[in-house]
Amino acid sequence: MGRPRTPLIDRDRIAAVALDLVDEQGDFSAPRIAGRLGVRTASLYHHVDGRDGIVELVRDRVASAIDGTALACEASEWEPAMARWARSYRAAFAAHPRAIPLLMASPIRAPEVLAQYERAVGLLLDAGFAPGDVLTVLTALEDLVLGSALELAAPPTMWAPSDSSDTPRLAEALAAAPASLADAAFELALGACLGRFRELLER
């Protein structure tokens, strides 16, 4: 066959198909991506740096939904800005729950997300946070976002255990729990963290 006049595939379409496969089947493989693109497996390697490279592309694709515009605001507005950013960050993962285990293994490297961190740091510094507190605050928030996203992929421990006779109090709490437990927990922890951050600032 040889080289086509115009390339048959590109990185973008590889990433899109990989994410589709993950959404549908929980994983992807080079042969299945190639199959959907009507191309041979080996062709992928002309566009992409191996399987890990595809994972990176998928990660960046998912992360592209994070809304960094909330961070462009007055320093006095740092609190709602961080709240909106955190919610958007979590929502980006929530949109692809089956991708989460795949993506959690390593950090987001997309330059746009890096730029968002730079802006977040600047916002917190301008708001008056001590330089030594800024990354602690940001990391705490990120822990919360990622942990909460993880929960969307793997409903956490054993809500609804097979036999609740050994766990009567768990059953009692479960019956009274809010319908969207994951969301409620995230909002509770987010509010808690933001409140504590404010205290840190006012001290």
Of 56 and 151, which has the nearer Cβ to DNA?
56
Among 11, 16, 23, 32, binds DNA (CB under 7 A): 32
Q: Does the footprint of DNA cover residue 164 (CB under 7 A)? A: no
Choice from 40, 109, 196, 198 touching DNA (CB under 7 A): 40
Shortest reach from residue 57's CB to its own copies, in Å: 17
DSSP symbols for the chain: ----SS-S--HHHHHHHHHHHHHHHS---HHHHHHHHTS-HHHHTTTSSHHHHHHHHHHHHHHTT---GGGSS-GGGHHHHHHHHHHHHHHHHHTSGGGHHHHTTS----HHHHHHHHHHHHHHHHHT--HHHHHHHHHHHHHHHHHHHHHHHS--S-SS-S-GGG-HHHHHHHHHS-TTHHHHHHHHHHHHHHHHHHHHHH-
Binding its own copies (rule: CB under 8 A), the pick from 41, 64, 76, 136 is 136
Q: Does 7 bind DNA (CB under 7 A)?
A: yes
Site string for its own copies, 145-164 (x = CB under 8 A): xxxx-xx-xxxxxxx-x---
Tokens of 158: 């054993």
| Region binding DNA by CB under 7 A among candidate stretches 31-39, 87-95, 150-158, 187-195 | 31-39
Select the residue interacting with its own copies from 105, 127, 165, 202 (CB under 8 A). 105
Of the residues 15, 22, 39, 108, which one makes contact with DNA according to CB under 7 A: 39
83 binds, among DNA, its own copies, none (CB under 5 to 8 A by kind): none
Q: Which is nearer to its own copies, 13 or 98 (CB)?
A: 98
Q: Which is nearer to its own copies, 9 or 56 (CB)?
A: 56
The verdict on 16 binding DNA (CB under 7 A) reads no
Surface-to-core class of residue 160, CB atoms within 10 Å of its CB (0-12 exposed, 13-18 middle, 19+ buried): exposed
